[in-house]
Amino acid sequence: MLINMVFPKNAAFNAKAILYLIFFFLIGEVHAQNKSYDIDITNSSKAIIYNGLDLGGVNNKGNSIAVNNYYISINKKPIIPVTGEFHFSRYPEQYWDESIKKMKAGGITIIATYVFWNLHEEKENVFNWDGNRNLRKFVKICADNDMPVIVRIGPFCHGEIRNGGLPDWLLPKPYSVRSNDPGYLAEVEKLYNEIGKQLKGLYFKDGGPIIGTQIENEFQHSAAPWGLTYPGQPYDYTAAERDLGVTHFGVSVSETKNPYQELGNNHMKILKQLAIKAGIQTPLYTATGWGNAAIIEKGSLPVTAAYAYPTWTKKADISPFYLYKDLTKTPDYSPVSYNPQEYPAFAAELGSGIMCTYTRRPLVPAKSLDALVNRCLGSGVNGLGYYMFHGGSTPKGDFFFQDEAGGSPKISYDFQAPIGEFGQIRPSFQRLKPIHFFLKDFGDLLAPMVLTLPQNNKDIKPTDLETLRYSVRSDGEHGFLFINNFQDDLVLTDKKSLSVNVKTKTETISFPISIKSGENAIYPFNLMVGGANLKFATAQLMMKSEDSKLPYYVFFINDGEKPVFVFSKSKGLKIKNSISSNILQTAKEWKVLPAENQNSEFLINLNGKQTKILVLTKETALKSYVLDPTNKKVLCFTNALPLQNGDEIKFLSTGNSEFDFSIYPKNNLTPKLSDGKLSSIKNRLFDTFSVNLPKYADSLNFTQTSDRKIQVSMPSPNKQIEDFFLNIDYVGDTGMAFIDGKLITDNLYKGLPWQIGLKQYMFNKKGDQIQFYFRPMYKGAPYLVDLKSSDIPDFSKTDKYIKINNVSLTPQYKAFVKF
């Protein structure tokens, strides 16, 4: 509550009057915060249609994938898949395996990848599947890592690639692209046949990893500008002439009535038939369904999107993507061309970053991503997908393949993704992991649960900073309460001493709510844990291990929460403290109060069967990884990145030659370190170890020859160094990096240091020096609207500004540990 008090000039107020004003102000704040919210879930139900879609299949090992109108299941078990976009052709093939392992460590369960037509058939009738374009090799490496794949085969892709992936040589052909013109379909059939040859034997039906195929992209909704254009010329879009009236440049709401919708759906159906004819047969087919885009009716899974920080709008706006809604009835970017209740809600393009353009350079905060995921799950979504999850660099052919016409960088496709252009791990990667772990272990419970929204939900606006945003998914008795306290481009108030009363079929459960601005939470209720009924908890469920000898459940405390666990009393149930938890009991309940600022543990004992409950701080949860180095599921906590390969863990530590790692459950492990010094550290909860590696001591050698140019010598390789990250702190417009006169990457300044990974150049001996050229920022540049005021120079005495503040080197150390 904000009170603006205006006092008359020179007015005299006595001390008592001022104290009364302060008293009533504070009372108002207390009343504003001590608010109760009610939600009735007693009528939760959903009609599940099991045979309404022409999707699914069984492979040669007897494993099945099925799709109903609400969720996907594997071997009849509901799942909530987590898909991460990673473009193999935008990353060096020698590091594909490492990148797939990074994505797996981040909780990704499916990789989606584009097959860009123009990268593989730049010259007509000459296909290139070599090197970084080796699709078959990439899919095989996914198979080696037990990672399912969705192949996005186009023909149109978008993906900020030149012409959206269509080859330049299509432009003058005597037929209309993205239409049923026989000439165009013949070219598509040729492409699909080539893709089919590359993927032969790697489909799900064959026991391979390819479970899905995306047909086209944003058909009859969006297009890319043709790369053959002139400065200042209006865009000439890669769309059939008849569809130009409904074509958008980016993802948006489309209110325009499409007179050719039936033709669009028919075109999508023909493309699927061509794909199947080419051998591209998968249990899942997807089609982008937002903004009235065409789909394959009953024969595709229409997927949705949410980009809270778009660059295709004129300026930043407050999005609706952090308000709960029923996405099974009204998808984002509605209206849509299909009946949403006939298909599962699959948010396959959540903007886990954004591609900056010359004129727009918004920053995507890490907190926005898990908040967006929370909102989607709490709105009925049963599938997640990130675009992009892993950045990269677009290769160059006869010209730059990046979408220059759309204002993209020449090469960099970093996308501010959770894993960056050079494999950097970002804060968003850490914030998403706990939800991914939760979905892997509890997705079978959540997926069938039905959404209930509070009665006042439709009245909440994105600009409402005060009202609590919440929803419930349940079966009427058991479920999860979703809370979101984040909004893009606004700061919501801290929520303190609130309560949410959930009316189930048998009782009303009152959740005490305290959560900080920018945070979000998912709370379970009536969840069976170790045979006991967890009536509710104000800590977020993260993962479980149901090992018969040592079962355990893991929760974490979100910022601002006051954690409490309430268990229903039952015969033979005892709960006792292990570490840092207070245990209380009444005639009907057990109440556990874990410590708020440290990791804790308590024990459930039900008729002699013991289950451990680990409660983590948010800081520890963000450092967690799920591993099984001894064929037993364990949690690893570390500031480094652990990548598992069989019984060996490769730790990557960026910037620190010394790091710790801890293992839970505590099991008196004796790991062995390949190089360096390994020491054991006493810890009541975990097996904890310290790794000490030789510190890289060489200094960075660089020279600055003008205010726009620097030259940096490559650092010396070291057997314990995985990579070097070069950090260029500058203020300007753009930066470009060259090796041997060839542009290797570039940067659009957005207020952050520019970081380049060197291993693909240094260890491959492509050159011994990187040369940089920078261009100055100009007064009145259009992208200044996206920069923080502190990142904009003083233009009062100049019209342009360029300054290179610092150049530094961050080594990434590696250590191999076996258990």
Q: What is the residue extent of each domain of the chain?
A: 77-444, 703-818
Distances (CA, A) of 707 to 703, 767, 780, 804: 11, 24, 21, 7
Q: pLDDT tens across 82-92, in order?
A: 999 999 999 99
Measured CA to CA, the distance from residue 646 to residue 655 in angstroms comes to 26
Q: Which of 77, 89, 125, 84 is nearest to 105 (CA)?
A: 84
Q: How is residue 794 annotated by DSSP? A: -
pLDDT at 331 over 70: yes
Q: What is the pLDDT of residue 764?
A: 57
Measured CA to CA, the distance from residue 535 to residue 539 in angstroms comes to 12
φ, ψ for residue 275, nearest 5 deg = -65, -45
Angle between the N-to-C axes of helices 182-198 and 261-277, in degrees from 0 to 180, rounded to the nearest 10 = 40
Token pair, residue 460, equals 């909440």
pLDDT at 814 over 80: yes
Contact indicator for 450, 43 with CB cutoff of 8 Å: no
pLDDT at 589 over 80: yes
Distances (CA, A) of 793 to 405, 709, 773, 775, 782: 28, 20, 19, 14, 15
User: Confidence band (pLDDT; 50, 70, 90) for 463?
Assistant: very high
Mean pLDDT of the chain: 94
Burial status of residue 254 (CB atoms within 10 A of its CB: 0-12, 13-18, 19 or more): buried
Q: Which residue has the tokens 């978008």?
A: 158
Three-state DSSP class for 109?
Answer: coil
Q: What is the pLDDT of residue 33?
A: 53
CATH 2.20.25 fits 703-818, yes or no: no
Q: Which residue has the tokens 């290769």?
A: 395
Q: Which of 196, 94, 89 is nearest to 134 (CA)?
A: 89
Measured CA to CA, the distance from residue 301 to residue 336 in angstroms comes to 13
Q: What is the CATH number of domain 77-444?
A: 3.20.20.80
User: Confidence band (pLDDT; 50, 70, 90) for 767?
Assistant: low
Q: pLDDT tens across 507-516, in order?
A: 999 999 999 9
Measured CA to CA, the distance from residue 114 to residue 159 in angstroms comes to 8
This prediction has a pTM of 0.95
Q: What is the DSSP string of 467-516?
A: SPEEEEEESSSSEEEEEE--BTTB-PPPEEEEEEEEE-SS-EEEEEEEE-
pLDDT at 475 over 70: yes
Amino acid at 489: D
Q: pLDDT tens across 340-349, in order?
A: 999 999 999 9
Q: What is the pLDDT of residue 765?
A: 58
Contact indicator for 709, 685 with CB cutoff of 8 Å: no
Q: Which of 267, 330, 321 is nearest to 296 (CA)?
A: 267
Burial 167-190 (b: 16+ CB within 10 A, else e): bbebeeeeeebbbeeeebbebbbb
**CA angle, residues 767, 771, 772, in degrees to nearest 5:** 145
Tell me the Ramachandran region of residue 105: left when phi exceeds 0, alpha when psi lies from -120 to 50, beta otherwise.
alpha
Mean pLDDT calculated for residue range 716-742? 95
Q: Are strands 82-85 and 384-387 parallel, antiparallel or unpaired?
A: parallel
Q: What string of H, E and C letters represents the secondary structure of 379-437?
A: CCCCCEEEECCECEECCECCCECECCCCCCCCCEECCCCCECCCCCECHHHHHHHHHHH
Three-state DSSP class for 798?
Answer: coil
pLDDT at 78 over 90: yes
Q: pLDDT tens across 671-684, in order?
A: 999 989 999 999 99
